[in-house]
Amino acid sequence: MGASIVIGAGGGIGGALVKRLAAQPHGGPVLALSRTRPDALPAGVTWGPIDLNDEASIAAAAAAIDAETPLDRVLVATGRLQALGRPPEKSWRHLEAEALIAAFADNAVGPALAAKHFLPRLPRDRRSVFAALSARVGSIEDNRLGGWYGYRASKAALNQLVRSLAIELARQRPQAICVALHPGTVDTGLSAPFQGAVSAEKLFTPDFAAERLLAVVDGLGPADNGGFFAWDGAPIPW
């Protein structure tokens, strides 16, 4: 088995992904990357620093991986809903340049730069997956409520980046897969202020979300390259 990398291992979903991957009986090495070292890591997991707002940090994290270690999965489990601590915009009256720029930096630019440095590390002769956490609200076709301008737009930008990355990846590594994933509404700090309207059965634990996301990732084939999938494997329109 090749290695699995989780970028954003300090977050709720990222930490749960690390635990699930580490618990797989026949899994390969697991590398957890985050700004700061998580308080507790499963036995056998290697930690490394990364800051998706600092390209030099991303390049260093990718370069630190042994060139002889094949990568099976690179999972980008990062994102920010409240840019600069501001609540999601309900109206165009609330739009601010600084908050929009911060949302795009965290939700689109960072994962794109991670792809820039980690996609070249995917093997050319075997299946591998690069997956970035997006959100259903990033779907343009599915947008019927409006609002949440910065988060919606930055996740839509991420989706477009993933689609373009997948097209280029297919030319170089035909067995590799690049996708965007929607984890559902997960009980983490990101969604905590907005859980009031979410029914109990639709509010997932980080562990459940990690279990379902890994099931989706491990079930993907080359024909799914460039897709956008929900936690249950259902495709989401762009």
All domains in the chain, ordered by first residue = 3-230 (3.40.50.720)
Tell me what the mean pLDDT of segment 152-167 comes to: 98
Tell me the pTM: 0.94
For residue 123 the two structure tokens come to 């093997």
CA 122 to chain centre: 17
Instruction: Give the CA angle between residues 98, 189, 150 to the nearest 5°.
Output: 30
pLDDT reading at 188 higher than 80: no
Which H or E run includes 133?
A: strand 128-133
Helix (H, G, I), strand (E, B) or coil at 6: strand
Instruction: Give the CA angle between residues 16, 88, 52 to the nearest 5°.
Output: 50
pLDDT reading at 151 higher than 80: yes
For residue 34 the two structure tokens come to 């985050």
The pLDDT score that the predictor gives to residue 192 is 55
pLDDT reading at 156 higher than 90: yes
* Digit-coded pLDDT (tens) for 8-50: 999 999 999 999 999 998 889 999 999 999 998 999 999 999 9
Angle between helices 149-172 and 97-104 (to 10 degrees): 30
* Digit-coded pLDDT (tens) for 194-233: 555 665 666 899 999 999 999 999 999 999 999 999 999 9
Sheet holding 30-34, edge to edge: 46-49, 30-34, 3-7, 71-76, 128-133, 176-182, 228-230
